[in-house]
Amino acid sequence: MNESREYLQDILTEIRLLENFTAEGETAFLVDERTQYAVMMAYARIGEIAKRLPDALLATRPEAEWKDVKGFRDVLLHRYDEIVPKRVWDAVQKLSVLKAAVESLLRDLEVS
C-alpha cells in the first residue's frame, strides 16, 4: 500500500496546483488560455495517477466519481478537440469532493 500512498500524495499535489490555478474564479479561468491549459494538464495527471490505484481502494470512496476522473483524463488527452472550457470548470467545482476523498483514503492507509 506504500505505492498507493505515494500516488495519493501525488494527486494531492495536483489538487493543490489546481486550487492555485483557479483561485481567481471562473471568469478569470474562462478568459485565460494558459490557466485552462495548466488546469487540464493537472486533471490529466490526476486521471493517470488514479488509473494506477487499485479499484478496491478507490471503491471505498465512490463520492470522488473515480470512473469520471479517469475518463476525463482520456478526454483531455485523446479527444482534445471536444474540450469545452466550461466542462473543465465543472470539474473544478467538484475539486473539494475529490480532495476530501483523497485525504480520507490517505488517513485510511495510515490506520492499516
Interval 22-61: pLDDT, tens: 999 999 999 999 999 999 999 999 999 999 999 999 999 9
Q: Tell me: pLDDT of 1 over 70.
A: no
pLDDT at 82 (0 to 100): 85
Q: Structure pTM?
A: 0.93
pLDDT more than 70, % of the chain: 98
SS3 for the chain, per residue? CHHHHHHHHHHHHHHHHHHHHCCCCHHHHHHCHHHHHHHHHHHHHHHHHHHHCCHHHHCCCHHHCHHHHHHHHHHHHHCHHHCCHHHHHHHHHCHHHHHHHHHHHHHHHHHC
pLDDT at 11 (0 to 100): 98
Domain ranges of the chain: 2-111
